[in-house]
Amino acid sequence: MTQTATPRTLQVGKIGELVPRIDAPPKVKGEFAYASDLIVPGMLWGHTVRSPHAHARILSIDISEALTMAGVHAVLTHEDVPGKKTYGLEFADQPVLAIDRVLYYGESVALVAAEHPEQARRAAEKIRVEYEPLDPVTDMELATEQPDLHPERPTRGHGYFDDQRPNVVRHMLIKHGDIDAEGDVSVSGVYDIGIQDQAFLGPESGLAVPDGEGGVDIYVATQWLHVDRAQVAPCLDLPLEQVRIHLAGVGGAFGGREDLSMQVHGALLALHTNRPVKIVYNREESFTGHVHRHPARIWCEHRATREGRLVNVRMRILLDGGAYASSSTAVASNAGSFAAGPYEVPNAFIESTAVYSNNPPCGAMRGFGAVQTCFASEAQMDKLAAALEIDPIELRLLNALKPGDVLPTGQVITGSMPIAETIRAAAALEPPPEEALPRDVLRLPGGAGNTTNGEGVHRGVGFGVGFKNIAYSEGFDDYCAARVRLLADGSAEIHCAAAEVGQGVTGVILQVARTELGIEDVRLAPGQTSTVDSAGSASASRMTWMAAGAVRDACRAALEEQQRRPGEEVDVEKIYRHARTTPLDPETGQITGERAHVAFAACAMKVVAEVDVDLGLTRIVWIGCAQDVGKAVNPQQVEGQIEGGTAQGLGLALMEEIQTRDGLITNASFTDYLIPTALDMPPVESVLIEDPEPDAPYGVKGVGEPPTVVSTAAIVAALRAATGRELTRVPVKPDDICLVSDT
């Protein structure tokens, strides 16, 4: 947002105030210790040997030569995993190290520990893995007719629809009202979304330190310490207490650190060598070493009355989950749950299917299923507006969800749902006037790559609105613990394992504690598994809400305890849970209790784009955003989330896609996988809509995901307005604009 910088006035730091981040000074000085910065004496370097095939049988692994290489202390394979051989966020279907087959390009096969990273890398080259390549499953539409990659069906028996077809991770059905209901008009379309990468800048890294008594401390960049421990300990065949996970500095996450990366591997090498072992992925490895956003194909039909009221939304969503389950079951459910957008829809038939393949594994990324469907659904709303000759914003207002309305899952909205206010606020934002030609080439579509004087530049304005859930859904036992110590010197120490991934939850925790305790001298202890119970994941736009609830409750309990025992130190731990959710019915996708989702947050955007229709080059000129934030705990940080979340959606709209050939990633670098730079991002003008969530502490809502959900859709809407093209696939490429004809 183009505004003058905030004056530096240190405030007390309560809820709603603009508080400087306590981690900002060490970060600007280069003193903040990220996971990849950790060094201890005697440390070895770990290296991961990865599969060059997307699908192959492993015939043999010969480590003998590697073991003789200079500086090498250990070479490990699946045979060295002492405990459970597989792990997974919800379904343990992924081997710690490949056993007799590999299912994706870059799958971990063996490990090396050596004195120097180059020695480890060279030793890794001497490990002889004999593969028998197999035909990879790479087309998600054909996956359900091809040989089962997971014949044991790890996701079966968890209450999902029992789909017998091969390679189905989850098939989710929503049947709402009369699924055959007809309208006066109907529009349909097919939309495609490429694979997006989180592309956090801090690569996967960690340091595992043996404790000399059989246990291990793992210092790692992660999103959820306790779920890491729950997965790591069984693989090491250790009790939970002997595996202590510590939060090291996290260089961004965006969902890509929900699944394990180096945690088990580092611990295996450390315990095997009895030396600390550090593993740092390089960028190419990072692209293969974490899950991505699911690519999707979405078939839609929207039926409406002549007046523009939606009558029936029918959608089929296909998501490629890649080789392992990760969080695909939840992504499929989210895609289905929010497929119809933030609109009141009396009838709906939605199928959402995630499949296994030999493509890169997909899982959580900011927006979590709602990004893909928002892109499709908002394109449909614009098509409908055109078919009905209704203003697209009026059409959205006419159908906007509000409290008391019913979602396609049958859930009645009981909390905050200011969709119409959010739409109006974004629509009211005034874009800058069109800039005359000629102008500096940097401000032409394509920037310095534009070879014209702007003769082919067309301007378009697009609009989009979307929403998603906050916190975990469908009956998940979602909680957050916080512990408060009131010390003799009048200060307080907070323990909470909430992962600071850059989003600013540390500040939220301190602000809540200061608000509740009425003191300034509050410290947050380092996040770790051994001093406090789980905080749950720093994901699903849940961490602010959950940490605020837990810290608030723990502070209040601590103050009560202090009153009972004046003069004594107090140490209290409390667990906070949001309202209970229940699973969706597997046959109908309807709620089986009051709610499947806890609460919702929305965002609306108006986008001005310029397109050089001769060259196919684009420039996003300006983005106006109104976001439903509940209560802004720290307005500066909320704006930062909106601006950053918008940028990631812009990346998906215009440039970001993991490209594969027969399942092999062909662009695993920042040279070939482009993310928005300072030249790509327009000013983002944001308006915060504060409509407190009644069930949430202080009325807060998560703010990280909604802008990412919406910006892709809104940006492509602006490109359509500028070009007249349908643009049904993201990222939009120059060829889509200037070569392909829409017929």
Partner 1 sequence: MRISLTINGEQHQADCWEGESLLFALREKLGFPGSKNACEQGECGSCSVLLDGTLVCACLVLAVQADGHDVTTVEGLADGDTLHVVQQAFVDAGAVQCGFCTPGLVVATADLLKRVPSPTDDEIREALSGNLCRCTGYAKIFDAVRLAASLS
**At 314, which helix (H) or strand (E)?**
strand 310-322
Nearest Cα neighbor of 256 from 205, 198, 334 is: 198
* Closest distance of CB 48 from partner 1, Å: 16
Among 280, 335, 598, 717, binds partner 1 (CB under 8 A): 280
Among 16, 83, 177, 252, binds partner 1 (CB under 8 A): 252
Nearer to partner 1 by Cβ, of 7 and 433: the residue is 7
Sole window of 303-311, 415-423, 631-639, 716-724 interacting with partner 1 (rule: CB under 8 A):
631-639
DSSP code for 324 = S
| Cis bond upstream, residue 133 (ω within 30) | no
Strand ranges, E, within 336-452 = 347-356
* Closest distance of CB 432 from partner 1, Å: 12
Nearer to partner 1 by Cβ, of 146 and 708: the residue is 708
Nearer to partner 1 by Cβ, of 280 and 417: the residue is 280
Sole window of 308-316, 377-385, 590-598, 635-643 interacting with partner 1 (rule: CB under 8 A):
635-643
Spatial contact of 376 and 315, defined as CB atoms under 8 Å apart: yes
Among 430, 440, 489, 735, binds partner 1 (CB under 8 A): 440
CA triplet 139, 645, 294: central angle to 5 degrees? 15
DSSP code for 639 = H
Report the site for partner 1 in 174-233 (rule: CB under 8 A). Answer: 198-203
Strand ranges, E, within 537-674 = 570-577, 599-612, 617-628, 660-661, 664-665
For position 531 contacting partner 1 by CB under 8 A, the verdict is no
DSSP bridge partners of 604? 465, 626
* Closest distance of CB 472 from partner 1, Å: 23
CA triplet 339, 343, 345: central angle to 5 degrees? 80
For position 677 contacting partner 1 by CB under 8 A, the verdict is yes
* Closest distance of CB 678 from partner 1, Å: 4
Nearer to partner 1 by Cβ, of 254 and 545: the residue is 254
Among 504, 630, 699, 702, binds partner 1 (CB under 8 A): 504
671: tokens are 């040279």
* Closest distance of CB 195 from partner 1, Å: 17
For position 502 contacting partner 1 by CB under 8 A, the verdict is yes
* Closest distance of CB 497 from partner 1, Å: 18
* Closest distance of CB 41 from partner 1, Å: 13
User: Residues near 702 by Cβ (< 8 Å), separated by ≥ 6?
Assistant: 470, 471, 540, 541, 542, 543, 544, 545, 601
Residue 389 CB-density burial (10 A; 0-12 exposed, 13-18 middle, 19+ buried): exposed
652-671 mask for partner 1 (x: CB under 8 A)?
-----------------xxx
Among 683, 687, 692, 726, binds partner 1 (CB under 8 A): 683
Among 8, 164, 564, 735, binds partner 1 (CB under 8 A): 8
Nearer to partner 1 by Cβ, of 207 and 558: the residue is 207
658: tokens are 């993991």
Report the site for partner 1 in 13-42 (rule: CB under 8 A). Answer: 20-21, 23-25, 27-34, 36-37, 39
**At 236, which helix (H) or strand (E)?**
helix 225-236
* Closest distance of CB 531 from partner 1, Å: 24
Q: How many residues bind partner 1 (CB under 8 A)?
A: 69
For position 433 contacting partner 1 by CB under 8 A, the verdict is no
Sole window of 280-288, 291-299, 302-310, 354-362 interacting with partner 1 (rule: CB under 8 A):
280-288
Looking only at the bridges linking them, the beta strands covering 492-495 and 522-524 are parallel
Q: Alpha-carbon distance 645 to 623, whole Å?
A: 12
CA dihedral 76, 80, 81, 86 (to 10 degrees): 70
For position 702 contacting partner 1 by CB under 8 A, the verdict is no
Residue whose pair of structure tokens reads 């397109």 in the numeric block: 611
Among 101, 309, 424, 443, binds partner 1 (CB under 8 A): 443
Nearer to partner 1 by Cβ, of 15 and 558: the residue is 15
595: tokens are 């709610």
* Closest distance of CB 447 from partner 1, Å: 9
Q: How far is CA 71 from the centre of its chain?
A: 39
DSSP bridge partners of 349? 175, 314
For position 428 contacting partner 1 by CB under 8 A, the verdict is no
For position 646 contacting partner 1 by CB under 8 A, the verdict is yes
Spatial contact of 1 and 643, defined as CB atoms under 8 Å apart: yes
**At 172, which helix (H) or strand (E)?**
strand 168-176
The neighbour count for residue 41, using CB atoms within 10 Å, is 6
Nearer to partner 1 by Cβ, of 457 and 555: the residue is 457
* Closest distance of CB 33 from partner 1, Å: 8
Nearest Cα neighbor of 186 from 340, 297, 300, 298 is: 300
For position 436 contacting partner 1 by CB under 8 A, the verdict is no
* Closest distance of CB 7 from partner 1, Å: 8
For position 435 contacting partner 1 by CB under 8 A, the verdict is no
Q: Alpha-carbon distance 431 to 101, whole Å?
A: 55
For position 442 contacting partner 1 by CB under 8 A, the verdict is yes
Q: Over the Cα atoms of the chain, what is R_g?
A: 26
Nearer to partner 1 by Cβ, of 250 and 345: the residue is 250
539 backbone dihedrals φ, ψ, rounded to 5°: -160, 180
Nearest Cα neighbor of 14 from 632, 642, 483, 556 is: 632
Positions in the binding site for partner 1 (CB under 8 A): 1-8, 20-21, 23-25, 27-34, 36-37, 39, 116, 118, 198-203, 249-254, 280, 282-283, 440, 442-443, 501-504, 636-637, 639-640, 643-648, 669-671, 675-679, 681, 683-684
